[in-house]
Amino acid sequence: MRRSDLTFGPTGDEWHYERSSRTYDLTRGRSPAWTVGTSQGPAETSISVAPRSTALVIVDMQNYFLHPRCRNHPAGLAAAEKTKRVIEKCRELGIQSPDS
């Protein structure tokens, strides 16, 4: 049995949080794991995922981020560029991503 400070989900399909490393482990025991720092929430927080059982889902950036009447266009373009980098990293790791 895995030791963690906090466990979420049903037996056999849990996520774990370890306070000492400030890491949410979403791998469900699968390996290899990839750990990345979060950009929101408490400082120095990370999540671990198993690339082979992870998918990147991008929901309708076209209107919210890119349409000039919905959002500041330069900010939307910056978000699109960052998203492209995330897609490239996911492909490199074998994470299912758009067009992969």
The 10s digit of each residue's pLDDT in 29-87 is 888 999 999 988 999 999 999 999 999 998 877 776 677 777 667 777 787 888 899 99
**Rounded to an integer, what distance in angstroms lies between the CA atom of residue 16 and that of residue 23?**
8
Query: Which residue has 């981020």 as its token pair?
Result: 65
Residue 95: how many other CB atoms lie within 10 Å: 20
Band (2; pLDDT cuts 50, 70, 90): low
Instruction: Write the single-letter amino acid at 77.
Output: L
CA dihedral for 32, 20, 16, 40, sign (positive or negative): negative
Q: Where are the domains of the chain?
A: 1-53, 55-100
Band (9; pLDDT cuts 50, 70, 90): very high
Tell me what the mean pLDDT of segment 13-18 comes to: 93
Radius of gyration of the chain (CA): 16
